[in-house]
Chain A
Amino acid sequence: MLFSPSGLAWWLLILPLLSAIATLVYLHRKPGSAIFASVGSAAVCFLIALAVTAGSVPEPQPLEWMSFPTLHIEVGMIFDSLSRGMLLVVTGVGLLVHIFSIGYMAHDKAKARFFGGLSIFMFSMTGIVLATNLIMLFFFWEGVGLSSYLLIGFWFTRESAAAAANKAFVCNRLADFGFMIGILLLWWLTGSVSIRTADLQAEFLHVAPSTTYHALATANPSTEPAPKNPLLIENGGVTEVSKTLALILVVSLFMGCMGKSAMFPFHVWLPDAMEGPTPVSALIHAATMVAAGVYMLCRVYPLLLLSPAGMWFIAFIGCFTAIFAALIAVQQNDIKRILAYSTLSQLGYMVMAVGCRGPAAAMFHLTTHAFFKALLFLAAGSVIHALSDEQDIWRMGGLWRKIPLTFVTFLLGMLALIGFPGFAGFFSKDLILAVAYSAHPAFFWVGAFTAFLTAFYMTRLVVVAFFGKARTEAAQHPHESGLVMTIPLIILAVLSVVGGFIGIGAFYHGWSVDQLRTTGLLPAGTEPVGLPELDFVRGTLVPLIMVFGGIGLAFVLYRGRDRDPLNIRVLRHKFYFDEFYDNSLVGGQQLFARFLGWIDDWVLEGMILRGSAYLSVGVGELLKLLQTGSLQTYAFVLSIGGALLIYFTLFAH
């Protein structure tokens, strides 16, 4: 089965898994073989993904995973435009990062463990992209969480890295709890966890009683009518969706996205995740894993439409995260942290786009963002590598002359990120702004201002790090990275430049229309709405003013400076969120833990464990008084006993 053309797709999952197992079990002492296995599997997966995108690999037959009377869970793969596009991004960027890592990690002793972690990630991420149901998706969802944990804590001897890994894991765990509630709620409401577009339609949107209730009714004929779907309420003879339940469902599914994509209350883990090696930051914490939340939202987009209030919530959280993170990025000094906050901000854009009914725009931006953010991180990695692990931009300076290739690629990525006209980000960000404007003008203006901030802090980064004069000894003599690191940079730079006008937006728009058609939200015969467009002032003038305003302001402020002329404390301290969480959540949890410790000491151990021991000792002390040692007392008691025995057996009735 696996070797026939129809089984080819399974290798997308099997190869990285095999590579991960082999690396972690056998090859940890043989870094060369581990690199070969990991990079090789990524390369083959990319080739298969190309074949999948070309349409020459059929969707494989789903396998049954678990089967209960009321729940069938399969392991299958969806090949539609959405997953094809995402698969190509994941395997493509993944392969480039794998290749880059060969150079970047060349001097590390634990290379094999690193590549094993990358393989676990590739396995899990591919699983998320192709999952046909939420249970399967959740399984792989946790898989990427695991690999993220392992790779953030890759240098686990450094205390901050270990703490960051824990923080990421705990934040995701909290959010995944909400996601799990969402999945269970969906199952309770519809009897199905499938996220195939056709299933969403048949079992959910069209008010048909779900399979669960059918199954219950046939299994138990004595109950009269099948129980009603609790999601649907009768309102004056019209069946409609219960608003409250729909809102709870949408918000709890969105919780999963909030954790993985580091949306506002859960955003704190992503900047700390930069403790991991830079290729990890590029692949997992910028290009693909953190975008999985957005991908998941697009996958279940028809469900989200059930609750307009939920959509507003999503849009609001996305919009808030976008501007919030951009503000923080303005005052950061660590090159990777600036990029991390910029990632948060861009993820906010994507989530906002989903909330504003533009999943195609979100996926478009996700794709271009994957290109240019992976490029920025890898280029930053190249800078860090060149300066022997220097990450503070104020300790760089004048690098453009010495590492020109890294500089040029970084510059291209930066121009794409800030939406410089003609680059990839320009098109995708414009589309998001247009979508936002169609939902509410406020979203547009916040988004536009965020674009201004983005231009500002990215220009600040480039001006401070690459121009001016070298501020430290290390910055005087950087060395350009080798070919194995620069070739991925060049490929990604090309993609960042052309990504905007090779039809990615239209590709996802086609998928979006398909999805709406299949689920019946766009009735047959109606003309689909095209991609939204803005008029000249809002669509062209405002973004241009924002971009050039940001660039100009940053140039004026930072050209030739050796110290930061701005000092905005609240931004430098990231709005004090870490402190706030430390004091409120962590402190409260410590208090609770101490209370539990008290219960453990005094109730569990004191009363129950030691208490029972003391009780038996005390009873023993009392009973030993009966042991007089006098033979005749025993004889007397014995005879009394015998007499009583006879009395009771013979006379007492």
Chain B
Amino acid sequence: MITLNHYLAVAAVLFVIGLMGVIMRRNLLVIYMSLEMMLQAANLTFVAFARFNGRIDGQIFVFFVITVAAAEVAVGLALIVALYRLRQTTQVDALTTLKF
């Protein structure tokens, strides 16, 4: 029997993997994908709660999240491309202009 807790555990694992990716990977594109993973972990919890509480609002909210995420990906990728054109790199170590 798969309970709510199983779903939540999977979501938590996904979230932590995403977070670790954001913190530890050096390539901007990978960091970006990790971010998306964290987003999906959140979506998973929404859907799981909606299913187990017998309510539909969580599932509807996930649609919104996906829509916004799609738009965000478009903007984000565009920024990364622009950045790459400017600096010829996507490694975060090189992007330290804001340091004093």
Contacts and interface: CB of A to CB of B under 8 A. Distances in A.
Given A639-B19, A639-B23, A632 B92 contact: yes
B74 interface: no
Interface residues of A, number: 10
Contact of A636 (B23, B31, B92, B95): B23
Contacts of B22: 632, 635
Interface stretch (A62-70, A399-407, A622-630): A622-630
Contacts of A636: 23
Given A624-B100, A639-B19, A631 B24 contact: no
A630 B91 CA distance: 11
A635 B24 CA distance: 10
Contacts of B19: 639
A627 B19 CA distance: 21
Nearest to B92: A631
Most buried by A among B19, B23, B93, B97: B23
B23 A629 contact: no
Contacts of A631: 92, 95
B33 to A, nearest CB: 14
A624 B23 CA distance: 22
Contacts of A629: 95-100
B39 to A, nearest CB: 14
Interface in A619-653: 624, 627-632, 635-636, 639
Interface residues of B, number: 13
B36 to A, nearest CB: 15
A627 B98 contact: yes
Nearest to A637: B23
B19 to A, nearest CB: 6
A624 B98 CA distance: 11
Contacts of A624: 100
B94 to A, nearest CB: 10
Nearest to A627: B100
B23 A630 contact: no
Contacts, number: 28
Given A635-B22, A639-B19, A630 B100 contact: no
Nearest to A629: B99
A631 B93 CA distance: 8
B61 to A, nearest CB: 20
Contacts of B92: 630-632
Nearest to A625: B100
Contacts of A628: 96, 99
B57 to A, nearest CB: 22
Nearest to A639: B19
Nearest to A631: B92
Contacts of A635: 22-23
A259 B28 CA distance: 87
A629 B98 CA distance: 5
Most buried by A among B95, B97, B98: B98
Interface in B41-95: 92-93, 95
A627 to B, nearest CB: 5
A632 B35 CA distance: 12
Nearest to B100: A624
Nearest to B95: A631
Interface string B1-39: 000000000000000000100111000000100000000
Contacts of B96: 628-630
Nearest to B38: A639
Interface in A114-168: none
Contacts of B93: 630
A632 B20 CA distance: 10
Contact of A632 (B23, B98, B99): B23
B12 to A, nearest CB: 12
Contacts of B100: 624, 627, 629
B38 to A, nearest CB: 10
Contacts of B23: 632, 635-636, 639
B92 to A, nearest CB: 5
A378 B28 CA distance: 101
A365 B98 CA distance: 90
Nearest to B93: A630
A636 B21 CA distance: 11
Contacts of B31: 632
A629 B96 CA distance: 5
A636 B22 CA distance: 8
A627 B31 CA distance: 21
Contacts of A639: 19, 23
Interface string A415-457: 0000000000000000000000000000000000000000000
A632 B24 contact: yes
Contacts of B97: 629
Contacts of B98: 627, 629
Contacts of A632: 22-24, 31, 92
A317 to B, nearest CB: 74
A629 B93 CA distance: 9
A630 B97 CA distance: 9
Most buried by A among B22, B24, B31: B22
A628 B97 CA distance: 10
Contacts of A627: 98-100
B51 to A, nearest CB: 23
Nearest to B98: A629
Nearest to A633: B23
Contacts of B99: 627-630
A631 B23 CA distance: 9
Interface in A589-627: 624, 627
Contacts of A630: 92-93, 96, 99
Interface in A273-328: none
Nearest to A632: B23
A639 B18 CA distance: 12
Nearest to B24: A632
A216 to B, nearest CB: 68
A628 B24 CA distance: 16
A628 B95 CA distance: 11
Given A628-B99, A632-B22, 11 more contacts: A627-B98, A627-B99, A628-B96, A629-B95, A629-B96, A629-B97, A629-B98, A629-B99, A635-B22, A635-B23, A636-B23
By Cβ-Cβ distance, the 9 closest A-B pairs, closest first, are: A629-B99, A629-B96, A624-B100, A631-B92, A636-B23, A629-B98, A632-B23, A635-B22, A627-B100
5 contacts: A624-B100, A629-B98, A630-B92, A630-B99, A636-B23
Interface of A: 624, 627-632, 635-636, 639
